[in-house]
Structure 1
Amino acid sequence: MKPTSEQQQEPTTSYPKATTIGTPSPRATTIGSAARTAGRSYLQATKGETATMETYPGDPHAHPELAVCAISATGAIKRKRESIIGKTAVCWLSSNSHESEPHHVVNALNEQLRISRHEIKVVKHYPEQYLVFFTDSRAFQRAVNHHGVRSRGRTFNFEPWTECRHAVEKQLEFRVWLRIEGLPAHAWSEEVAGKIIGQHCAIHYVERHSRRQDRTRTYDLWAWSSNPSKIPKIILLTITDPDRELASGDDVELFHDPPRGYKGAFDYKLHIHLDVVEDLSFFGGRGGGNGHNRKPSREFLWNYGMSDYLGERRSNQQHDKLRRARLPPSPR
């Protein structure tokens, strides 16, 4: 798929800058003071600002502090949730002691509550110490209803696992119609599209013509969004060379060859065209929520091969033939 290693050009990577800590060393001298100001302008030094320094690949000082990723719980996530709700508990020790192993939890439940070892799977977890999967909901109820299971000097506490645990509830105020231009044919899938838009959107559904690959000018989908203004106009999609696969029964497993050099990949420049924005605060008679310049729906103009810049479509302006003559369907 890629040229041989002799033909490949050595990649050039520029790493981000990190900042030095502005707190002076206790053993600093006049000479040390001069060293601390090295790399900073006079204005930076007088203001106490930090200087930039070269970093190495993986330097924790160069990592972004925060990124956002949105996904929809439709499909496999929904089915997984339904299979573990009411049969999964978190477990921790009252002493917060980590001098225990999963088999200690199994022994405690078996000895104190007569729950069969075959009905329990215990795995190490965080921030609680263990996650306990029960095959029987009645055994689960016995564990979470018991106030502390004492066994051999340890007290294990159990609470039901829920999707709300360690989560902050929020509401996505918008639904958008996105049209992804430039998605390569071999990566034409909802899974890939979800990763492309995942920083600020979660897929609602993919248009039928895109699911069937009947039209490949754009990959068209509806998505939930917290802020349409943060949806990037261009995404650089990197697809690596495939790894070797081995057949294993009904499944296909990847064979993990050790690296022997650079990993080959292709970069694809994708234009993310924002076609329609629906303001969900207008649904249910709520009337626009907070903020100015809000209305139930906006349609936008854009051109193939270009970043969006034309703005909102006026009533007398024409657009792509695929554009619907009616308002988009109500969210479901």
Structure 2
Amino acid sequence: MMADHGGGSTEAGGGPVPHIPVLLQEVLDSLKPSDGKIILDGTFGAGGYSMALVSRGADVIALDRDPTAIAAGQAVVGEAGGKLSLHHAQFSDLARFAPEEGLDGVVLDIGVSSMQIDEAERGFSFQKNGPLDMRMAADGVSAADVVNRAKVGDLIRIFSFLGEEKQAGRIARAIEKRRESDPFVTTRDLAGLIEIVTPRKATDKIHPATRVFQALRVFVNDELGELAQALFAAERVLKPGGILTVVTFHSLEDRIVKRFFQDRAGKASGSRHMPMVAVRAATFEPQGRGMVGASEAEAAENPRARSAKLRAGIRTTAPAERADFSIFDLPDLASLEKFGG
């Protein structure tokens, strides 16, 4: 998963606006980077978080699943003077890159980056026509594979849960009918159909294809599963006092992070009518006042920051718990990947 949800527009002079990570100051305030600290940036992107952490003295281990980000990031590594290492990997595998003594911090910026959106050939956005792809790692099942091969019932489940699309059934059935004679190839192919099936109303704040595109991207890249695994991995490798900071951009991601920190806050089993049977020690304590959002100034400057939410926790001395995915109440979508063969 790639990060740096910065602006991707162009200035009047034609030059690109720099990619500035969302909630950068809030991330720095949370992680408190300083000399001698080792922090893992699980979503390197354009290197915004990583270089800001390095500039404050921290040694940074950065990961990204996107080979394009890895190639472009070599120049950033060179500028870091040995304080940044960059690895091609999914952040669910972050424990493999942690030093034996543990980490002082982990930061995860979840979702698609402005750089990926701005590259039409990646197929993440319907604003620019391109292949219906959406693969962050540039391999595996593409969005076109899902749209053209998945059963209509599976498409409904994907659109309704991962995109929270109320017209999931209508859109899925229209896709099924159209693909029989004319398979979907480009982003405009799909967006155009959705525009016809669910026309935009004057009161709509977003394009009618927005939720379907979100759902496909999340499904193709297993974003929710990756996030859940990364949270458990961070719990295992953070030192006592280490900070886990996560920035999310839609409700499904934020719900997973919120439930993780709630679950890891420690619970006593039993009820007010019965004696306590066992007590679970907290593995994380909340940092600050809970969820932090973008300032009005940042949201005005960068529209993609409007939905950003930061949650953070401080690792305690309690041993890490087992990875129990049931705490997230996620649907089993893994079986859909076969698309009926």
In our comparison, the structure showing a higher alpha carbon Rg is 1
Which interval holds the TM-score relative to the shorter structure? Answer: under 0.3
Which structure dedicates a bigger proportion of its chain to strand?
1
Structure with bigger helix share is: 2
Structure ranking higher on relative contact order (CA contacts 8 Å, 6+ apart): 2
